[in-house]
Structure 1
Amino acid sequence: MLEQHYKWHSPHLGHEFEMLVYGEEGYPLILFPTSMGRHYEHRDRGVIQSLEWFINNQLIKVYCPDTVDVHSWYNIHISPAERALHHIRYDRMLRHEVLEKVTEETGVQRIAVAGCSFGGYHAANFAFRYPERVSYLFSLSGVFDVKSRLNGHYDDNVYYNNPVDFMPANPHEALWRMGIILGVAEKDITRSQNETMSGILHNKGIMHWLDVRPNKTHDWPTWLEMLPYYLSLIK
């Protein structure tokens, strides 16, 4: 399968940014790495191999961007307010650089996003902030509340990037047209967060599927089962 390595200077981040892309044609999927993960994580962990049939049959084209978690939510060497600002820059880069590249290459205006663990946070946060540009959200053992990483700090930048906080009042009509799957393991450390997010969506009347996998844990073998199945449901 075709693998392309993209590297460019990001004006929003102020430094170079990298992304791997798999496939030539197909429905675009932005696949976020886990906490502090790099653009090659899904290749090295076997996720891309698990999606090989979809890619080779030109059903999907997979975009694997870096994160800036080490500079944002996970950076204990700067203030919590600065951590949130670093994430804001990343969010703008995704919206105005990565998404525009995806749209230019595929011609698709509403894409799919996915991620495992903290990658599930990135996927959900992006989807819920920009539902007019996202048709499908596949969160695998996702995190939906980052306040535990902020030492009690709270401001608007946190609120608008913390799905459990901003989603109850989010009125965007495109949310009701999004295909949403919250996949989580029965023995998952993020199960309660997924149940909370499911409850928020349920209270808003937003159709979704909370998929609790029995006898599974928060780990790669679970996610390697989940993602190919979820992608098979794209219509």
Structure 2
Amino acid sequence: MTENYLKWHSPNLGKEFEMLVYGDSGYPLLLFPTSMGRYYESKDFGLIEALRWFIEEGRIKVYCPDSIDAVSWYNKNIPPDQRAYNHTCYDKLLMEEILPRITEETGHERIVAAGCSFGGYHATNFAFRHPERVSYLFSLSGVFDIRFRMDGHYDDNVYYNNPADFIPDNQHADLWRMGIVLGVADRDVTRPQNEQLSGILAGKKITHWLDIRPQTTHDWPVWREMLPHYVSLIK
């Protein structure tokens, strides 16, 4: 299984940025780390190994970007408006620096967005902000309401990065064409948010699958089972 390490200076962040890429060809899968996780987290916790067959068979090419949670949503040492602004810069990095590379390397204009826990937030937020660039969304134990990181602050950067708020008003036609899976453990702390988002999507008649896994908790073992299953659904 091919592994490539990339590092470059990001003009959107004004600092160095790192990413690991697995595979040589296939449908591009952008795989976000958990809260404050690094670009190598999915490898360290066996998620890449769980996808090995799909990668080696050329079914998918997996891109694992770093996160900037430590200087955005999780940074209590800066004002909340700066946290939200910093995440907006991260979104620009994804759109302007990573997606063009993905298209050049794979020939695909659309991607799969996926992630576990807070990575599920990142995947969902990106997919629903840019549905014209995302064919599939696989959120695993994700959270979808970012206001708990905002200390009561609210502005446009919060709204447009808070799926629980902006999805009800989003009428982009590609939302109804996206393959959406909300995977969650039955004893998962994020289950209420997944059920809430499922209700929002159902109210908009957006087809999706709320996959509640029995006898499981919010942890890597269930995610290593979920993601290969979801990847097998890619057509």
Q: Shorter-chain TM-score: what band?
A: over 0.9
Stretches of structure 1 lacking an aligned partner (at least 5 in a row): none
Looking at structure 2, the residues matched to 13 and 101 of structure 1 have their Cα atoms a distance apart, in angstroms, of 17
Looking at structure 1, the residues matched to 188 and 99 of structure 2 have their Cα atoms a distance apart, in angstroms, of 31
Specify the alignment match of 1:211 in structure 2.
211
* Amino acid aligned to 2:37: G
Specify the alignment match of 1:170 in structure 2.
170
Stretches of structure 2 lacking an aligned partner (at least 5 in a row): none
Matches within 5 A, 1:60-209: 60-209=60-209
Specify the alignment match of 1:230 in structure 2.
230
Looking at structure 2, the residues matched to 233 and 163 of structure 1 have their Cα atoms a distance apart, in angstroms, of 24
Deviation at 1:43, TM superposition (A): 0.5
SS in 1 for 2:69: coil
Compute the RMSD of aligned alpha carbons. 0.4
Deviation at 1:183, TM superposition (A): 0.1
SS in 2 for 1:217: coil
SS in 2 for 1:153: coil
Deviation at 1:119, TM superposition (A): 0.1
Cα shift readout 1:136-167 (whole Å, capped 9, x = no counterpart): 00000001001001110001110000000000
SS in 1 for 2:38: coil
Specify the alignment match of 2:17 in structure 1.
17
Looking at structure 1, the residues matched to 40 and 3 of structure 2 have their Cα atoms a distance apart, in angstroms, of 11
SS in 2 for 1:132: helix
Deviation at 1:59, TM superposition (A): 0.3
* Amino acid aligned to 2:59: L
* Amino acid aligned to 2:109: Q
Q: Normalising by structure 2, report the TM-score.
A: 1.00
Looking at structure 1, the residues matched to 173 and 110 of structure 2 have their Cα atoms a distance apart, in angstroms, of 14
Looking at structure 1, the residues matched to 110 and 28 of structure 2 have their Cα atoms a distance apart, in angstroms, of 9
Deviation at 1:212, TM superposition (A): 0.3
Deviation at 1:110, TM superposition (A): 1.1
Looking at structure 1, the residues matched to 210 and 47 of structure 2 have their Cα atoms a distance apart, in angstroms, of 21
Looking at structure 2, the residues matched to 174 and 48 of structure 1 have their Cα atoms a distance apart, in angstroms, of 28
Deviation at 1:207, TM superposition (A): 0.1
Looking at structure 2, the residues matched to 179 and 191 of structure 1 have their Cα atoms a distance apart, in angstroms, of 20
Looking at structure 2, the residues matched to 143 and 105 of structure 1 have their Cα atoms a distance apart, in angstroms, of 31
* Amino acid aligned to 1:212: I
SS in 1 for 2:25: coil
Specify the alignment match of 2:48 in structure 1.
48
Q: After TM superposition, what 4+ stretches of structure 1 lie above 4 angstroms from structure 2? A: none
Deviation at 1:68, TM superposition (A): 0.3
Specify the alignment match of 1:37 in structure 2.
37
Cα shift readout 1:163-200 (whole Å, capped 9, x = no counterpart): 00000000100000000000000000000000010000
Looking at structure 1, the residues matched to 116 and 52 of structure 2 have their Cα atoms a distance apart, in angstroms, of 18
SS in 2 for 1:187: coil
Looking at structure 1, the residues matched to 165 and 202 of structure 2 have their Cα atoms a distance apart, in angstroms, of 15
